[in-house]
Amino acid sequence: MADYRKMWEDLGMDVENHDLLCSVLPGAIGDVFLSQENRPEAMDYFDMVLADVHGLRPAELVEFKKNGGKVFGTFCTYVPDEIIFAGNGIATGLCAGSQFWVPGGERYLPANTCPLIKAMLGARFDRTCPFYRLADIYIGENTCDGKKKAYEILGTDVQMHIMDLPQMKRPKDIEKWADECHDLLEMVEKETGNKITPEKLAENIKKINAKRAALKRLYDLRKNKNVPISGTDTLLISQIAYYDDPERFTTMVNKLCDELEKRVADGVSVFPAGTKRIMISGTPMAIPNWKMHNLIETSGAAVVCEETCTGTRYFENFVDESGENLDEMVSNIADRYMKINCACFTPNSGRFDDIIRLAKEYDVDAVIDVNLKFCQTYDIEGYLLEDKLKEAGIPVLGIETDYTDSDAQQLKTRIEAFIEVL
């Protein structure tokens, strides 16, 4: 691993505290990833990105900024990357999935706040994440109450741009979202000093669609009877999607898919025949949160699909590429993003339809609905979701958890018992 200490110091990070975070990573990578058998060779790239998660990409962003580039930090799948890249900016996900940051967040937030939000504030105020230091502007969004109020606290320390995401999907709401996307475009132009031309936007719509297509290709391969890649490895790829260079990421996912296609043709699976197929639904699993995948896949089942923002919600539906001017393109972008079904919306029956459709497409034996503790919207939506799944004859297990390991053994027992009776 290269020595990035100087870069971290220059970024104003608390390097000593950060060392503690880095010291647990190699062990976690070994336990969660390298212990798996018969991993695809092309996972090497993603393993390398993970091993140097606070070094490789941040060093690229530092270079980019030295040349006058602007980095935009994002927290939600609704924020359209196309617009940021079209202004020659770089978008990077800032979602935080480590318990390491939670106590820091609790200094600012009530203890009964979802761990993802607490970790966001901890990562910023503890100065232990280079991405949080590097992003010039954070783009927040009105989704759940916890996030939108936490953005006000972040705003005391960093420039924020908040997108007002409607919470219904009537035509007037979609129009309003297109308006918000226009405001984002203007803000990106102002901050970067670059004009977003129709050509630039069209080029970046294609670029991000290509990334979606690569992820769709990867997910489609998991629909096979012989599953060529574990859910744990796929989750890592989905997490890296939020911050890697989009073109390089697309190339590497496609390279992996070439290998997986060969595996499928040769009848190679990473799971023994007859392994139960599980779909996870629910809240996002930000890096390095691999807890549920690890528990499920070490309990004798395979995770073959994730209906989450670190899963299908990130890549399903493409932006229509036929827009001829900026207005049409922005409106096509708004249409695509408003097809994401997050529990912050009401009604949100589209999400039930998605989950039932995906359960069929991926031929799953059951759904495990995983929600982060204190996430009200997903937790409450779980009630109707369970009903719909039961109606469709799909077994479901609801789990509420956080980033700690304190419930791991108890969860494992529940998961094993659930899989046993499938």
Interaction mask 195-234, ligand BJ8, x per CB under 6 A: ----------------------------------------
Task: Report, in Å, the least distance between residue 239 CB and ligand BJ8.
Answer: 12
User: Residues 117-123: contacts with CB within 8 Å, 24+ apart?
Assistant: 117/146, 117/147, 117/150, 119/286, 119/403, 120/75, 120/94, 120/95, 120/96, 120/150, 120/154, 121/150, 121/153, 121/154, 122/96, 123/94, 123/96
Contact window for ligand BJ8 (CB under 6 A) among 14-22, 25-33, 213-221, 374-382 = 374-382
Interface with ligand BJ8 (CB under 6 A), residue from 7, 53, 76, 202: 76
Taking the least distance from each CB to ligand BJ8, the nearer of 55 and 166 is: 166
- Does residue 120 contact residue 105 with C-beta atoms inside 8 Å? yes
Task: Report, in Å, the least distance between residue 336 CB and ligand BJ8.
Answer: 13
d(CA 21, CA 31): 16
285 binds ligand BJ8 (CB under 6 A): no
Taking the least distance from each CB to ligand BJ8, the nearer of 230 and 308 is: 308
Interface with ligand BJ8 (CB under 6 A), residue from 375, 385, 394, 411: 375
Taking the least distance from each CB to ligand BJ8, the nearer of 116 and 257 is: 116
Picking from 335, 342, 382, 383, the residue whose alpha carbon sits closest to that of residue 142 is 342
Q: What share of the chain is helix, strand, coil (3-state, %, to 5)?
A: 55, 10, 35
- Here the tokens at position 47 are 């393993």
Taking the least distance from each CB to ligand BJ8, the nearer of 21 and 76 is: 76
117 binds ligand BJ8 (CB under 6 A): yes
Task: Report, in Å, the least distance between residue 120 CB and ligand BJ8.
Answer: 8
Count of CB atoms situated within 10 Å of the CB of 10: 11
Taking the least distance from each CB to ligand BJ8, the nearer of 33 and 337 is: 337
Taking the least distance from each CB to ligand BJ8, the nearer of 58 and 282 is: 282
Phi, psi of 419 (to 5 degrees): -65, -40
Residue type, 408: A
Interface with ligand BJ8 (CB under 6 A), residue from 116, 201, 264, 329: 116
d(CA 213, CA 209): 6
Please confirm whether the linkage preceding 288 is cis (ω < 30° from 0).
yes
DSSP 95-112: ----GGGHHHHHTTS-TT
Task: Report, in Å, the least distance between residue 312 CB and ligand BJ8.
Answer: 11
Q: Which of residues 130-159 bind ligand BJ8 (CB under 6 A)?
A: 143-144, 146-147
Q: Which residue has the tokens 């930000």?
A: 286
Contact window for ligand BJ8 (CB under 6 A) among 2-10, 37-45, 71-79, 124-132 = 71-79
Q: Which of residues 323-362 bind ligand BJ8 (CB under 6 A)?
A: 340, 342, 344
d(CA 32, CA 405): 14
Residues at the contact surface with ligand BJ8, assessed by CB under 6 A: 76-78, 114, 116-117, 143-144, 146-147, 283-284, 309, 340, 342, 344, 372, 375, 377-378
